[in-house]
Each structure stands twice: as C-alpha cells, then as structure tokens.
C-alpha cells in the first residue's frame, strides 16, 4: 500500500480510544452539541489525515434513553465518530475507578491507593470486572462496524483488554495497541493484582507500541518475568505466536502550529501579549491539571528562584495554564485547591499593587490563543513527575522560530529522550535544581539558545504525528504479512 499513490483508496482505520475527540452536551430531547476535547491523545490523533479513519469511543456523557442515543449517534456520524454507550455505574467503576484510580497512578509510579486497604481489595475486583465489561462493550461496537481489511488501532491503558476481546471473536482482525502513558518497570507493574490478565490480553494484539524504547523494554521484561514468556529482539513469543513490540515516538502536526502563527488574529494576540508583559520575561506552563504534571513542584521551584534572585522579581512572570480534568475525582479536587493555595501565597509574598509573579488560569485555551502564548514565551517549564511523551514541549518548540526560547524539561517525560539535547533537563523532585535551571535559562546567551532551539525544531518538524501514525499502521500491516508467511511456512524466496 503506497500512501503517496492517490489512486489507491485510503486504508480504512478503526481508531478505538476511551474518549471520542469530541464531548457531547445535551441540548434537548434529541439534540446535541459537540465540543472538541482537550488532551494529548486528541492532539496526536489529528495526524490521521492520510487514512480513512473512524473513531470509536465514549462521548463522555450518560445517555440512558434510546431517543437520545439515536440522535447522538446521528450527530457523531457526521464527524466520523461512533459512540460506545456506557452506563453510569460502569463509568464509575471502570473509568473513575480502575482506569484513573489504579492504572493511571501506578503506570506513573505513584503507587496503588492505600487508604482503607481491605475494602480496596474487594472494590478492586469489582472495578476490574467493570473494566473487562467495558472493554467488551467497546469490542462489540468494533465488531458491528468492522469491514474486512480494516485495521483496528486500540489506544491506551483504558483498553488493555480489548485486543483479546477482538481476537477471540475474529482472529483475522488486524489489531494494534498503543500506550500513551509510560509502561512502568516490571517491578512496579507486578504490584497490580490483575497483572497477568492485562499482559496476556495485550499480547493478543499483532503489534504493541510505546513512546520510548525504555517503555517497550519494561513491557517485554514484565512478560518474561510475570508470564514466563520469551522475549526476542522483535517482541514477545507466546506458544509460537510472536507479538511485535516496538517504540513509536509520537509527534505533533507541526505545520498546523507554524501556519497558525501567520494568521492575523494570532498576530494580534501576540502583539497584545507583548504589550501586556513588556519589560518582563515570560515563563509558561501548559498542562492538564493532573498530579503527574508536577504543577505544585514547578510553582515551588519558581518561588525558590524568586527568593534567591531578588533582582528578577519584577522582571519575570510565570503563566500557568492548567485545564481541569477528572474534576469528580477527590484527589484532583485536592490538587486544584493545593495549587491555588500555593499560587495565592507566592503572589501575596512577591506581588506588587500593579503586578503579580504568577498568573494561574484553570481553563482550556483555544488553539490560536495557545499558539500566541507559545510564541511570546521566553522559557517553557515542563516538570512532569512522569509523562508518556508530553506534547506541550513539542508545541512550544514549533512556535519558537523567531524567539528561540529555552525549554526546561523533566527527565521523566518521554520527550526528554527526543528533545533532551536541546533542553535543560531537570529532576522535578529537586526543587533547588529546577530553580537553578530557571536562572540558567533566563540568563542563557542568544547563540546557545539558538543552537538548542535548532536541534529541537528540526526534530519536531520531521517527527510529526502524521509520520508516527503512518509508521505504526505500515508496521502493523508488515507484521501481519510476516506472520502469515511464517505460519504458512511459505519460503520468502523461490528455492
Ligand atoms: P496528556 O497527559 O494530555 O497526554 P500532553 O502530551 O502534554 O499530555 O498533551 C496535552 C495536550 O492538551 C496538548 O496538545 C496541549 O496543547 C493541550 N492542552 C493542555 N492544556 C491545555 C489548555 N489549558 N488549553 C488548551 N489546550 C491544552 C497523554 C500522555 C502524554 C502523551 C500524550 C500523547 O499523558 O504523555 O504525550 O497523551 O500520547
């Protein structure tokens, strides 16, 4: 299949992710408003233009009645989206419970929930049952929409049970699974009571992908240590079946950002921001409000920097844009109040009647406003405690062609492996080190900034989300052809 050859039909792709790229808001009995969701997965999958792609996922809303379901299905069809309807209890146990309270923190090295241990063990099982049930519901919708030859691409930790559900019903379906979070060291993964089931199910896929080589290696070690299987340079071998395991570092649609900077409304916005912050260096953080993003640690490091460098106090501003997510989970509510409290304290301590050192916004910005902010930034501060990749670092670099600002990046973000040589890498837990990096970044000579920027810009513009998706799908097709050749024992070359 040659993607360049326009005469060939585009490859049909069923992209399955927990959430659709749009969220649905009910307007009436049978009318719906669709809003684009914010998040790394949505941004990344904008790179699927080369494919005839359909999305399958949950629309983020409970729709118990048939009239509502029919109307929503129709509205979503226009966006090539197909809904999976999950009831409230399943969402609570599967999504809030097993996905967000168990797998997400564990895969980011934040451990398992510890309070009320005995009841957690019991509820753990019911949450896992709900997880399997939800995955089966996704599988049912895939089967209903599947056409022969389709590639099914399953995304993320919510759907680790899906490859098995798909293959059980139809072993010929081409199934790929990609993880957007880190895959932790096998020593961490083995804490999961359901560790075997999840690994075995993922192995039912033909191709398993991760952002970095390290995550892929951790996955293979988990399979060898926990399942006793054999790891090979290609992947994992299970009873004669090879599951390919490889690294596919994600990227962004860099052209979209570069082009946006030329738009008059973005230029106006840039002008406004420059006037607003004239005479001050701009530091920027853009994150979903999540404990993995290390927002409190970042703000404390900024405080330490201001404490130690009084000459900078009225010459620098930190803009922290933190879009709230998972707002019904108590830990996230706690995090939000913690961040507000620290910001209030620092602004009280170092602010003046006319200026404050930190502007903290807890909301989502539209694409053009975000591009303008990236473009006026002098230093981007990304201090994730763990992060699968981190696309904000890529977006910042794409918008910095004229400013050539500095990227301070956590060594625990997957992006540190691709942008590390063009960034100041930090351990986000080491507040003093982050504070020192802020000082180094603000004082960095122009030629050094230029060199670091060029390195990153080259990477971001050549490793795009389009390239990422095309490589994954083409590798999946190749894997299947190789497997067919192997099992039918067809000689590769005529003898
Ligand atoms: P996320 O944890 O969501 O993604 P990230 O990769 O940084 O993290 O992507 C966030 C996306 O949301 C970016 O495109 C950013 O522009 C957007 N965004 C964040 N805050 C915003 C705001 N306030 N307003 C508007 N837009 C905002 C997960 C993993 C990551 C991995 C991605 C993709 O956790 O590690 O890089 O998936 O695989």
Asked whether 108 lines ligand 1 (CB < 6 A), one says no
Asked whether 39 lines ligand 1 (CB < 6 A), one says yes
CA of 287 relative to ligand 1 center, distance in Å: 7
Asked whether 453 lines ligand 1 (CB < 6 A), one says no
Of 183, 182, 134, 187, nearest to 162 (Cα)?
134
Q: In this predicted structure, what is the pLDDT of residue 2?
A: 47
Does the interface predicted TM-score (ipTM) exceed 0.95? Answer: yes
Residues in a beta bridge with 52: 12
DSSP 213-238: HHHHHHHHHHHHHHH--EE-SSEEEE
Q: In this predicted structure, what is the pLDDT of residue 495?
A: 42
CA of 257 relative to ligand 1 center, distance in Å: 15
- How many degrees, rounded to 5, is the angle at CA 203 between CA 202 and CA 206? 100
Q: In this predicted structure, what is the pLDDT of residue 277?
A: 96
CA of 413 relative to ligand 1 center, distance in Å: 12
Share of the chain above pLDDT 70, in %: 95
**Alpha carbon distance 360, 322 (integer Å):** 7
Asked whether 466 lines ligand 1 (CB < 6 A), one says no
Per-residue pLDDT tens over the stretch 66-99: 999 999 999 999 999 999 999 999 999 999 999 9
Per-residue pLDDT tens over the stretch 314-341: 999 999 999 888 787 788 889 999 999 9
Which of 36, 40, 44, 180 best tests ligand 1's pocket when mutated (most atoms within 8 Å of CB)?
A: 40
Which of 285, 391, 464 best tests ligand 1's pocket when mutated (most atoms within 8 Å of CB)?
A: 391
The burial of 336, by beta-carbon neighbours within 10 Å (0-12 exposed, 13-18 middle, 19 or more buried), is given as middle
Asked whether 204 lines ligand 1 (CB < 6 A), one says no
Tell me the pLDDT band of 46, cut-offs 50, 70 and 90: confident
Asked whether 235 lines ligand 1 (CB < 6 A), one says no
Nearest protein CA to atom 20 of ligand 1, as residue: 287
Asked whether 483 lines ligand 1 (CB < 6 A), one says no
Phi, psi of 132, rounded to the nearest 5 degrees? -65, -40
Which atom of ligand 1 is least distant from the CA of 43? 14
Per-residue pLDDT tens over the stretch 426-470: 999 999 999 999 999 999 999 999 999 999 999 999 999 999 999
Q: In this predicted structure, what is the pLDDT of residue 364?
A: 86
CA of 38 relative to ligand 1 center, distance in Å: 7
Per-residue pLDDT tens over the stretch 374-411: 999 999 999 999 999 999 999 999 999 999 999 999 99
Which atom of ligand 1 is least distant from the CA of 391? 6
């Amino acid at each position: 299949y040659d993607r360049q050859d326009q005469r060939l039909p585009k490859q049909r792709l069923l992209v399955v992710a927990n959430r659709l790229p749009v969220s649905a808001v009910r307007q009436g009995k049978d009318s719906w408003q669709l809003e684009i969701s914010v998040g790394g997965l949505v941004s990344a999958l904008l790179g699927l233009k080369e494919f005839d792609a359909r999305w399958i996922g949950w629309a983020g809303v409970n729709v118990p009645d048939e009239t509502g379901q029919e109307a929503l299905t129709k509205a979503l069809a226009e966006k090539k989206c197909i809904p999976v309807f999950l009831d409230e209890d399943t969402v609570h146990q599967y999504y809030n419970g097993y996905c967000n309270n168990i797998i997400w923190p564990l895969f980011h090295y934040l451990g398992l929930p510890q309070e009320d241990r005995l009841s957690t063990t019991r509820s753990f099982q019911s949450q896992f049952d709900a997880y399997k049930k939800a995955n089966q519901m996704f599988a049912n919708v895939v089967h209903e929409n599947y056409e022969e030859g389709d590639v099914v691409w399953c995304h993320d930790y919510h759907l680790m049970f899906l490859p098995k559900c798909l293959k059980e019903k139809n072993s010929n379906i081409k199934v790929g699974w990609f993880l957007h979070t880190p895959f932790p060291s096998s020593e961490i993964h083995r804490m999961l009571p359901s560790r075997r089931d999840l690994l075995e199910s993922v192995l039912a896929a033909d191709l398993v992908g991760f952002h970095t080589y390290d995550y892929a290696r951790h996955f293979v070690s988990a399979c060898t240590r926990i399942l006793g299987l054999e790891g090979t340079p290609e992947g994992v071998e299970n009873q004669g079946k090879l599951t390919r395991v490889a690294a596919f570092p994600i990227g962004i649609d860099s052209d979209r950002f570069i082009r946006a900077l030329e738009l008059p409304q973005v230029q106006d916005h840039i002008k406004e921001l420059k006037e607003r912050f004239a005479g001050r260096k701009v530091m920027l953080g853009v994150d979903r409000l999540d404990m993995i993003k290390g927002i409190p640690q970042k703000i404390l490091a900024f405080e330490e920097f201001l404490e130690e460098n009084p000459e900078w106090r009225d010459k620098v501003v930190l803009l922290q844009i933190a879009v709230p997510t998972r707002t019904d989970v108590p830990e996230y509510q706690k995090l939000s109040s913690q961040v507000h409290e620290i910001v209030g304290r620092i602004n009280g301590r170092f602010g003046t009647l006319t200026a404050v050192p930190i502007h903290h916004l807890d909301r989502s910005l539209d694409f053009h406003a975000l591009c303008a902010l990236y473009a006026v930034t002098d230093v981007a501060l990304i201090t994730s405690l763990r992060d699968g990749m981190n696309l904000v670092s890529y977006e910042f670099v794409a918008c910095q062609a004229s400013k050539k600002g500095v990227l301070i990046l956590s060594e625990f973000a997957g992006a540190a492996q691709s942008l590390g040589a063009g960034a100041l890498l930090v351990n986000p837990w080491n507040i003093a080190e982050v504070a020192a990096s802020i000082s180094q970044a603000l004082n960095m000579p122009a030629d050094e900034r230029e060199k670091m920027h060029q390195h990153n810009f080259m990477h971001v513009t050549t490793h795009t989300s389009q390239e990422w998706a095309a490589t994954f799908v083409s590798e999946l097709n190749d894997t299947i052809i190789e497997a067919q050749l192997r099992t039918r024992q067809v000689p590769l070359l005529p003898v």
